[in-house]
Amino acid sequence: MIAVAISGGVDSAFTAWLLSRRNRVFLLHALFVPGEPDLERPHRLAEFLRLPLKIVDLRRPFEEKIIRYFREAYARGLTPNPCVLCNREIKFGLLLKEALRLGAERLATGHYARVRYHPDLNRYLLYKGRDPAKDQSYFLHQLSQEALARVLFPLGDYLKEEVIREAVRIGLFPLTAPESQEVCFIRGDYRELFRGLDFPPGEIVTVDGRVVGRHRGLYAYTVGQRRGLGLRLGKPYYVVRLDPRRNRVIVGEKKHLLVRSFLVGGVNFIYPVEPGKPFRAEVRIRYRHREAPAEVRPWGPGVYRVIWEKPQRAVTPGQFAVFYQGELVLGGGEILPEEDDAQD
């Protein structure tokens, strides 16, 4: 028995149709976002597919684990990626447990990624999806072996255009929602989540120490940001760093965004690397970043330093760095803040 997590979008709907042709399947629709749910679309899909539908209410743990994490990360001067944590803790944590409790042996989703079992290593390995424009392996790099052993990603071998074409052919497409937004609990400007919270204004300071303006609260800024700074300095300035200890936004020219090395903590390795040894990888520092070659060195308990071959732009604490070797995901972890005088 396979449980298919459906959001109402075309990818999960097509996944359910695909698997139901040869397997016993039921649908799972999870409620994540606080507020009154709209269940019309999942019910219509279940009726069309002639599959049983179960609703799982995960709104409280989602708010406690994901939305709280999002707010607290900004309070610490970080720019979080809630989707990575949601996949580990909620979708392939609590929702997977609920699927198993309901009698499923596997949980399938519409993610564009691939999982393969490697008998020599006795491990499940994660690979990029076939469609480079839709590959979602970046968001899945924190999954445990226990989760990878139970998940199915049938769309990993599909191109998005193939999914849409087939969904249209079988009549699914009109029943599904448009492409989902990246952060499901945000409607409009993410800054609205912080309205009324204690984020005091402070100084905007250049990398050489000049006070050039005032910011409205650290939550409203992220590394690499250019617009909305309210500066008139005769040339473009960008957010280079957030300093929560001094409640400052540090700005500089474009060249100041280039980073030679950075630290990563909380690393989860899907592919085993030799303990205590440096290794080479292509490293992606955000979802739409093109991986760049680097050396990854052990730096402390659970911490690694990534040293680029060529400096990269806007490495952002709170985001995740994911290590690849070709299509294979080695693992990854959270980008850590460090002091100005950190050495390579």
pLDDT at 344: 37
CB 92 within 8 A of CB 235: no
SS3 of residue 2 by DSSP: strand
- Rounded to whole angstroms, the Cα distance separating 65 from 69 reads 6
Domain spans of the chain, in order of start: 2-175, 198-252, 258-336
pLDDT at 173: 82
pLDDT at 322: 98
- Rounded to whole angstroms, the Cα distance separating 257 from 105 reads 47
Residues of the chain with pLDDT under 50: 341-344
Asked about 83 being catalytic, the answer comes back as: no
34: left (phi over 0), alpha (psi -120 to 50) or beta: beta
> Which of the residues 85, 86, 239, 249 is marked catalytic?
86
Q: Which CATH superfamily is 198-252 part of? A: Adenine nucleotide alpha hydrolases-like domains (2.30.30.280)
Same fold, 198-252 and 258-336: no
pLDDT at 193: 64
CB 143 within 8 A of CB 152: no
Number of other CB atoms surrounding residue 236 within 10 Å = 12
CA angle at residue 156 from 18 to 170, to 5 degrees?
A: 30
- List, for residues 289-321, the tens digit of each pLDDT value: 999 999 999 998 889 999 999 999 999 999 999
Question: Which residue, 273, 241, 253, is CA-closest to 339?
Answer: 241
Asked about 184 being catalytic, the answer comes back as: yes
What is the distance of C-alpha 304 from the center of its chain? 20
What is the distance of C-alpha 202 from the center of its chain? 30
We find that the CATH architecture of domain 258-336 is: Beta Barrel (2.40)
> Which of the residues 75, 183, 184, 307 is marked catalytic?
184
Fold type of domain 2-175: Rossmann fold (3.40.50)
Q: Can you read off the two tokens belonging to residue 304?
A: 């690694």
Alpha-helical regions (H) of the chain: 10-20, 40-49, 59-62, 68-75, 82-86, 95-101, 145-148, 160-170
- List, for residues 71-98, the tens digit of each pLDDT value: 889 888 899 999 999 999 999 999 999 9
